[in-house]
Amino acid sequence: MATDAEETRFELQKARMLKAAARCFNQKGYSGTSLRDVADELGLTDAALYYYVRNKEELVYLCYVRAADLGREALDQARAEGKDGLDTILRYFRYHIEMIVGERGPIAIMSEIPSLKPVHREEVLELSRQHSANFEAILEAGIKDGSVAACNVRMTGNAIMGSINWIPKWYHGDPELAQKLVGEFPEILARGL
């Protein structure tokens, strides 16, 4: 029977593995990344990764679930704290970007969903659809309360989500850029709202 300390150590190592895998997948893509690349990033043998995942497909699936979880966490925090639609949106942008470029990042870009086996693909797509619907609901609430200009919420949501979700592709760990992203990118994204 595992102790709390063993479970905590397992979860910390798994989180470390998912961050390393996200970095590799973002840089080399799914087909260009091997379990050996992830193991090298962590200073482990590739055999050690099999303690956490069965194969590369499962690893990318877990990276995508982690990305969805962090996005949902950022959105939930913004919804709990936001004063109106626009304030909630700005908070969400900041919280999500902080997760991407901060201590909890990197987060895997969900660009290789077709490489997942069908059950994983459907789960990840459903998580993505739920996140988009929740963000669109905030846009609609902002339109209703007058803090956001009338817009096509689906198109606006997709444009904004695409901008945020692509950050891991071009952000590579520069702390000065991270501060600018957290401080300036939310305002840039919200100007059209």
Tell me whether residue 153 is in a domain. yes
Tell me whether residue 3 is in a domain. no
113 band by pLDDT with thresholds 50, 70 and 90: very high
Q: How much is the pLDDT for 179? A: 96
Q: Is a pLDDT exceeding 70 seen at residue 2?
A: no
156 band by pLDDT with thresholds 50, 70 and 90: very high
CA 126 to CA 179: how far, in whole Å?
32
Q: What CATH number is attached to the domain comprising 171?
A: 1.10.357.10
Tell me whether residue 14 is in a domain. no
Q: How much is the pLDDT for 4? A: 81
Tell me whether residue 30 is in a domain. no
H and E: helices and strands count for the chain: 9, 0
170-182 pLDDT, tens digit per residue, is 998 999 999 999 9
Q: How much is the pLDDT for 3? A: 76
The domain total for the chain is: 1
39-72 pLDDT, tens digit per residue, is 999 999 888 888 899 999 999 999 999 999 999 9
Q: How much is the pLDDT for 1? A: 59
Tell me whether residue 76 is in a domain. yes
Is 182 in contact with 94 (CB distance < 8 Å)? yes
CA 97 to CA 180: how far, in whole Å?
10
Tell me whether residue 109 is in a domain. yes
Q: What are the angstrom distances between the C-alpha of 165 and each of 26, 27, 46, 107, 108?
A: 11, 14, 28, 9, 9
Tell me whether residue 11 is in a domain. no
Tell me whether residue 71 is in a domain. yes
76-109 pLDDT, tens digit per residue, is 999 999 999 999 999 999 999 999 999 999 999 9
Query: What range defines the domain where residue 151 resides?
Result: 58-190
